[in-house]
Amino acid sequence: MLWIKAFHIIFVASWFAGLFYMPRIFVNLAMVPTESHAERERLLLMAHKLYRFMSLLMIPALGFGAWLWMDNFSGFNRGWLHLKLALVVGVIGYHHFCKSILRSFELLANRRSHRWFRIFNEMSVLLFAAIVILVVVKPF
């Protein structure tokens, strides 16, 4: 099971690297002047490629996590694990919300400021920190 845990950690860390960077691209997109089509298209291309890559990393991260959970199902009555799983659902929602934001930029329908995206960028960091603390400390 140590191999499964190692692969889970590798894929989760890689997935989160994308989740950390995607909103940064949104900050840049929100700051692009309307007449700068080339810069906008370059950032959209980067965001699309990153989203695809993040999605590919999410699948094994969740798969290895499910494998670990199934192997230790008797420990499911622990409160920290319930909260961790709820936060993982939140991370999946955050991931998919990034896709809807990307669509709004494609359709020139974004109405949010670069400041909003700077705050949105911190959400993935807070989710990651909370999950790591729950897994390592197991506070309840």
- In 3-state terms the chain splits into helix, strand, coil percentages (rounded to 5) of 85, 0, 15
39-to-31, 32, 42, 43 alpha-carbon distances in Å: 10, 7, 5, 6
What would the two tokens of residue 120 be?
């949105």
Q: Which helix (H) or strand (E) holds 93?
A: helix 79-106
Is 84 labelled a binding residue? yes
Binding region for heme: 8, 84
Binding region: 8, 84
